């Protein structure tokens, strides 16, 4: 057992009323040995990051805050407490990637090696400073009890286990001192068994007026609906960058997005659930060829993808047709995007 995810716990009462718990195919005689992994999540707003070194402070703050939360919160069952206290897993994600790409004049659909190299530099810093923060916490408070069951505990970092075909997309040039980080991990352990997870971040994106997670936007103005009501959301810096955003259904293929995900996955200690999206209008007879789907699936796994999630098709079903009645020229002026000041 390496990293603490994908646990399944089942309780079974036998004829003699003895309780057994099965975890990943193993049988335990006591519930005290069972584990259920919980999600303790946050995200870094890439809209606020100008240089890779800017990641250090927010990464440090988030890791420390989430780690405190693990001790503060209540747990519904003992198996959840067992796993959390022994492994202390966190999941820090990314929001506002679509805005970050637009601001850097990069597009999902046409990103090239130079664009991927820039992404590589930024995601390296994001990953490095999260790991560094957890190792520093281990120095102060001790490593998690089961740090020896992680790759971090033996000094193995995500950059040591990625699919080497990613090097065909972008050269493996590192700007930070990973060797020292490995030595520190061996000497001091790590406080948190996992540190990264890419979530959709729908609610967080609304609060900070950011673009959702790592996903392309579907429109410059969108309608978001929840139990609290309906709101219209405008992408960050819409006046300045309206021609820079690469809208989801304008993209003729998810290939560029899959390459971006491959570079991100290189630095992440858990698998990314990746979506693919197709607009039939870009294909003859408005039919997406099976050969295209297979090509993208093979591309995804060839470059180290772990799991494909939703396969979205633009067919009009469930899509909200947006008619805001508000020209972009009538929107209030921006000094800067909201996501950069909140």
pLDDT of 17 above 80: no
| pLDDT over threshold 70, residue 264 | yes
pLDDT digits 0-9 by tens, 62-80:
999 999 999 999 998 999 9
Least confident of 66-80, 130-144, 218-232: 218-232
**pLDDT per residue over 169-193, tens digit each?**
999 999 999 999 999 999 999 999 9
Q: At 118, is the pLDDT very low, low, confident or very high (cuts 50, 70, 90)?
A: very high
Listing DSSP states for 179-197 in one string gives: HHHHHHHHHH--S-S--B-
Q: What is the pLDDT of residue 227?
A: 74
Angle value at C-alpha 296, between 95 and 217, nearest 5 degrees: 30
Coil/strand/helix, residue 39: coil
- C-alpha span between 238 and 10 (Å, rounded): 50
Query: Could you please report the per-residue DSSP string of 156-169?
Result: --GGGTS-GGGGGT
Place 225 in a pLDDT band, splitting at 50, 70 and 90: confident
pLDDT at res. 327: 55
Under the banding of pLDDT at 50, 70 and 90, the label for residue 208 is: confident
Q: Residues of the chain with pLDDT > 90: what percent?
A: 74
Distance in angstroms (rounded) separating the CA atoms of residues 313 and 116: 26
The reported pLDDT for the residue numbered 303 is 98
Residue 235 confidence (pLDDT) above 80: yes
| Predicted local distance difference test score (pLDDT) of residue 6 | 37
pLDDT of the residue at 334: 44
On the 0-12 / 13-18 / 19+ scale of CB atoms within 10 A, 144 is: buried
Across the range 97-121, mean pLDDT stands at 97
The pLDDT of residue 215 is above 60: yes
**pLDDT tens for residues 325-340?**
455 545 554 444 443 3
- What's the rounded Cα separation, in Å, for the pair 218 and 200? 14
Angle between helices 255-266 and 290-302 (to 10 degrees): 20
Q: What is the pLDDT of residues 39-65, one digit of tens each?
A: 999 999 999 999 999 999 999 999 999
Sign of CA dihedral 49, 50, 51, 56: negative
Phi, psi of 42 (to 5 degrees): -160, -175
CATH topology of domain 37-334: Anaerobic Ribonucleotide-triphosphate Reductase Large Chain (3.20.70)
Confidence of residue 104 (pLDDT cuts 50, 70, 90): very high
Q: Which pLDDT belongs to residue 230?
A: 81
> What sign for the dihedral angle of Cα 57, 267, 38, 149?
negative
What's the pLDDT score for residue 123?
98
pLDDT above 50 (res 22):
no
Name the nearest CA neighbour of 6 among 26, 45, 36, 31: 36
Number of other CB atoms surrounding residue 175 within 10 Å: 12
Range of lowest pLDDT (35-39, 82-86, 127-131): 35-39
Q: What is the pLDDT of residues 291-323, one digit of tens each?
A: 999 999 999 999 999 999 999 999 765 444 444
Angle between helices 56-72 and 113-141 (to 10 degrees): 50
Chain mean pLDDT for the chain: 86
Element (H, E) at 71: helix 56-72
């Amino acid at each position: 057992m390496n990293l603490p995810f994908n646990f399944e716990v089942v309780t079974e009462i036998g004829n003699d009323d003895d309780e057994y718990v099965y975890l990943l195919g193993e049988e335990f005689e006591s519930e005290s040995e069972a584990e259920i992994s919980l999600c303790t999540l946050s995200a870094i707003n890439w809209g606020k990051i100008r240089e890779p070194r800017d990641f250090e402070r927010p990464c440090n703050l988030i890791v420390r805050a989430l780690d405190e939360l693990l001790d503060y919160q209540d747990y519904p069952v003992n198996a959840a407490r067992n796993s959390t206290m022994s492994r202390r897993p966190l999941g820090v994600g990314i929001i506002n990637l679509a805005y970050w790409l637009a601001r850097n004049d990069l597009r999902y659909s046409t990103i090239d090696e130079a664009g991927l190299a820039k992404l590589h530099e930024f995601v390296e810093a994001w990953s490095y400073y999260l790991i560094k923060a957890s190792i520093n916490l281990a120095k102060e408070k001790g490593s998690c009890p089961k740090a020896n069951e992680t790759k971090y505990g033996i000094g193995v970092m995500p950059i040591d286990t990625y699919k080497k075909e990613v090097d065909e997309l972008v050269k493996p040039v590192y700007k930070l001192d990973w060797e020292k980080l490995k030595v520190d991990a061996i000497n001091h352990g790590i406080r948190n068994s996992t540190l990264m997870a890419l979530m959709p971040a729908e609610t967080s994106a609304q609060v900070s007026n950011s673009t959702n997670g790592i996903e392309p936007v579907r429109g410059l103005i969108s309608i978001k609906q929840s139990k609290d009501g309906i709101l219209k959301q405008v992408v960050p810096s819409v006046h300045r960058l309206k021609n820079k955003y690469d809208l989801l259904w304008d993209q003729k293929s998810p290939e560029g997005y899959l390459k971006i995900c491959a570079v991100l996955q290189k630095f992440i200690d858990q698998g990314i659930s990746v979506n693919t999206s197709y607009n039939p209008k870009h294909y003859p007879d408005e039919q997406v060829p099976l050969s295209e789907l297979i090509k993208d699936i093979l591309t995804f796994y060839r470059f180290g993808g772990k799991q494909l999630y939703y396969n979205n098709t633009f067919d009009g079903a469930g899509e909200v047709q947006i008619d805001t009645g508000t020209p972009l020229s009538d929107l209030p002026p921006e000094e800067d995007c909201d996501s950069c000041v909140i």
